[in-house]
Chains A and B, each alone.
Chain A
Amino acid sequence: MKRRSFVQYAGLGTGALMMPSLLLGNNIPAEALLEPGMDVVLKKKMADVALNTAKSLGATYADARIGRYLNQYVFTREDKVQNVVNTESFGIGIRVIANGTWGFASTNAVTEDGIKKATEQAVAIAKANSKIQKEPVVLAPVEAYGEVSWKTPIRKDFKEVPISDKVDLLLSANAAAIENGANFVNSALFMVNEQKYFASTDGSYIDQDVHRIWPTFNVTAIDRAAGKFRTRQAMSAPMGMGYEYMDGLESEKLNGPMGIKLYRNSYDIVEDATMAAKQAKDKLTAKSVEAGKYDLVLEPNHLGLTIHESVGHPLELDRVLGYEANYAGTSFATLDKWESKNFKYGSDAVSIVADKTQVGSLGAVGYDDEGVKTKKWDLIRNGVLVNYEAIRDQVHVIGQNESHGCCYAQSWEDVQFQRMPNVSLEPGKEKYSLQDMIKDVEKGIYILGRGSYSIDQQRYNFQFGGTMFYEIKNGEVVGMLEDVAYQSNTQEFWNSCVKICDKDDYRLFGSFFDGKGQPSQVSAVSHGSSTARFNGINVINTGRTI
């Protein structure tokens, strides 16, 4: 009914699966994914056309991004292949500063003539808007890197794996779910390769080859007599890895209570689908939670989303400054709180870092989309707010002269802007396992996986659900719970964090299609953490009778 919401893959669950159709590009055969793109020498020549044209028209700065975006998506349900999508999108985006104002234009005509025209349009837009511009652009300096390149360190390129192997793997997972009692199962594999070339008048020519993968499914169990259904999503994470993520290595598995298996840098989709079917059935008869205060033990594939919403977004400097006021909102983490140098965002146990270099993460690149070498920096240190997420035209606002390197555009045809880097909770320094965490909880809930999530426009009040909930009583996990959601306030929540497991429990959560901006663009971002405990959190019962 809501026109803008139509593009959704039915049956796969959460809003994170909303996928703008524009990302799809042109359909191509799978073998064509393997064709080499434009040669790097030619890319440099074409980028120089844009940079030289911009300068000749009076631009004081210009950058050009030549992008070839390759996607392969496979969708199945039960024993059927619903769709296999292979797409390619190729073009150039040109951004300029003229009269102190940004201008942007893009074209899929990657020829001297096409690029000149688009550059003229970008400069014309900049000049037209400069008449009503009140805040001229101030760019932080960046090093001229010369001709450099970077690649996601992958072991298996998804483009070289036959589609039949991928289809067979998904159908095996579906069969395992059905054999173990699921009524329905939808599964999907999303694979992305961004081949990006960046050049700017600051003297950098950067060639990058970025890979991402996301296997996921949704299993449904139904009790027709009771008129009840329950679902269980995959416990995978989208990763900045190649197809090797699907290897299901035993060495990357962790054991949870009640026979639960958890996955680090390698995913066993058949095993997870088997467990999912059993757990979806268990959910049909699980005890409904009694509302009240609980100590929550939050597993990384759940906690990642809470980090994303309550730390990642409020520390985006453009939100803090009001640029996103009409869409995603602003932020409670205002500049005065940061300037005070003693704003307690969380307890002493909480240190949260931004990192665009973390191996295996969705946000890892060598250079961001405005040619800044990526790095790692502190956002929250020992509970105190110490920095934001900012790019070249923002850092002057917080008295810094070096971009954080977190600028991104979803494709060549969209303008780049500040996006969330990977934002992760540092593991605890003392040796501390999941079992250690649970054993001294009197009344608690162990929550795994992503579920319903909602937070206000300044990121104070939030409510989160999860995929699975287990009751903890006197240091033991005693059984499954249902109808659980917790409500808290960001600052109260992070100040109630009392313990964090050590690095052996550390895993990544990811969001493959995070939306921001108008017109909206998606980006992919990871959030790492070890299992952590939050004491005395308000839990509500979401069960209703209609």
Chain B
Amino acid sequence: MAIYTEEEARKILEKALSFSKADACEINLGGTNSGNIRYARNTVSTAGHQSSQSLVVQSSFGKKVGTATIDEFDDASLEKVVRRAEELANLSPENPEFMPPLSPQVYDESITYVEATANTTPEFRAEVASKSIVPAAAKDVTAAGFLNDGARFSAMINSNGLFAYNKSTNMDFTVTMRTNDGTGSGWVTRDYNDITKFDAAEASKVAIDKAVMSREAKAIEPGKYTVILEPAAASDLLGNMFRSFNARSADEGRSFMSAKDGGNKLGQKIVDERVNIWSDPLHPDVPTSTWNGEGMPLKKTKWIENGVVKNLAYDRYWAEQKGVDPVPFPSNGIMEGGDESLEDMIAGTKKGILVTRFWYIRSVDPQTLLYTGLTRDGTFYIENGKIKHPIKNFRFNESPIIMLNNLESLGKQVRVDGNLIPYMKIRDFTFTSLSDAV
């Protein structure tokens, strides 16, 4: 399937809207082309290509709403799907939280599409696998990896005159390297909008080196340690923390962000004053679409400034209830970093632990944002400014709020999973038990 241009998408959407007889109508159109390769045991296990497209019509009569979907876009199909949405709306109970379609909005031009990524070939993917497998085998290491790349477009129109369009490309790569004696494991992740920035050999080498370095890990006692968290480790905990940046659940009293006397923690200082986190769809390293699925413009938004909560996300219904402007949920997260390199951070650590990543993170207590999980694929003991030896994996029980209050220093930022996260040094990070897992 082709990735439709703005004009092609507009033509289909205008045609579909012309069939609407409802009080209000909103139509989303999207499509994706993606390819992947998966390898394990130093050989390719599966490879595939998926393409799909769909058009979703939401029709409403008053507060009665119906939705219908179709993947064929000839005139008869478009009329059929609009009629079906209207039939469903007529049969539905009223949704008291229904919000009428937005009026036309002004969007920034996005920087999310890179032609080279859209043109990725099966041969390129096989070469990526080979760049992992060949050097791994040479070091008595076994590679298991996954590359997924694709292009997508999305467009929307509504009966209030709004139109929006975006196209984007993306690639995600992860590889786990395990030493053949089963005592060492390393891992790396890379993701970009522009696949030409991706160096499979460099990434694979990082994971191979970690696997070899992490062999024959020693057990040390669980307890509170200073940790240096690589960006991939911190990213998952921060992502979990951001799920509570929702004004409604905070106002309802069922969130970490609920204030004790009612209301929410907007304006309260919750973490160290050096913590600054914002979202920005136009950041060149982590660009995203400049509008969300209901057509709200996405702009640079501060979430935590100098440790203080600056914004919580308000959907349109809750914003109206509270008499404030809606604040869309962020499409990426950018945390301010510092100048220190990883080497500097290690050199400045008397006693600590370097963490490559965390695994199987689960909420333990939503009240305090306490999470548990384990270290994985490269955990090292630091003493007197040097990596001394690999250590066995730990289970942690920690809250990202406590973690960001115990901030020692910030290092340079790295893109992880569409976000920009710095290396962080944290004191008194709580490890509660040892794991034998490699």
| A residues whose Cβ falls under 8 Å from a Cβ of B | 1-5, 10-11, 15, 26-29, 80-82, 84, 87, 102, 104-105, 108, 121, 125, 128-129, 132-135, 167, 183-184, 220, 222, 224, 227-229, 231, 321-327, 329-330, 332, 413, 415, 452-461, 463, 465, 483, 485, 487, 489, 518-519, 538, 540, 542-546
Contact = CB atoms under 8 A, between A and B. Distances in A.
Nearest to A108: B71
Interface stretch (B13-21, B41-49, B223-231): B41-49
12 contacts: A2-B236, A3-B418, A104-B48, A322-B144, A324-B144, A326-B38, A330-B178, A456-B360, A460-B437, A465-B364, A485-B364, A487-B432
Interface of B: 36, 38, 40-50, 54, 56, 67-71, 84, 87-88, 91-93, 95-97, 122, 126, 129-130, 142, 144-146, 148, 174-176, 178, 187, 235-236, 238-239, 242-243, 246, 249, 252-256, 258-262, 330-333, 359-370, 372-374, 376, 393, 395, 397, 399, 401-402, 417-419, 432-438
B41 A82 contact: no
Given A125-B47, A227-B258, A485-B372, A458 B432 contact: no
B41 A454 contact: no
Contacts of A220: 254
Contact of B437 (A10, A84, A413, A457): A457
Contacts of A125: 47-48
A29 B437 contact: no
Contacts of B252: 183-184, 222
Q: Which of A15, A133, A220, A518 has the most CB of B within 10 A?
A: A518
B175 A326 contact: yes
Given A1-B238, A454-B362, A184 B254 contact: yes
A322 B435 contact: no
B95 A82 contact: yes
B253 A224 contact: yes
Given A463-B395, A546-B399, A222 B253 contact: yes
Q: Which of A81, A455, A456, A546 has the most CB of B within 10 A?
A: A456
A452 B364 contact: yes
Contact of B262 (A28, A224, A487, A519): A224
A542 B46 contact: no
B368 A544 contact: yes
Given A326-B176, A463-B372, A487-B432, 8 more contacts: A2-B239, A132-B43, A229-B255, A326-B144, A326-B187, A454-B360, A454-B372, A456-B359
Contact of A322 (B97, B178, B236): B178
In the A-B complex, the 5 residue pairs with the smallest Cβ-Cβ separation, listed nearest first, are A461-B435, A2-B239, A227-B260, A325-B144, A456-B437
B145 A326 contact: yes
A129 B369 CA distance: 45
Contacts, number: 221
Contacts of A545: 368
B249 A458 contact: no
Nearest to B398: A544
A29 B436 CA distance: 52
B271 to A, nearest CB: 10
Contacts of A452: 362-364, 372
A334 to B, nearest CB: 8
A129 B368 contact: no
Given A81-B95, A322-B40, A544-B399, A183 B253 contact: yes
A231 B432 CA distance: 25
A133 B44 contact: yes
A104 B254 contact: no
B46 A102 contact: yes
A248 to B, nearest CB: 24
Given A102-B46, A326-B145, A456-B376, A542 B365 contact: yes
Contact of B42 (A134, A330, A457, A487): A134
A455 B359 CA distance: 9
A322 B179 CA distance: 12
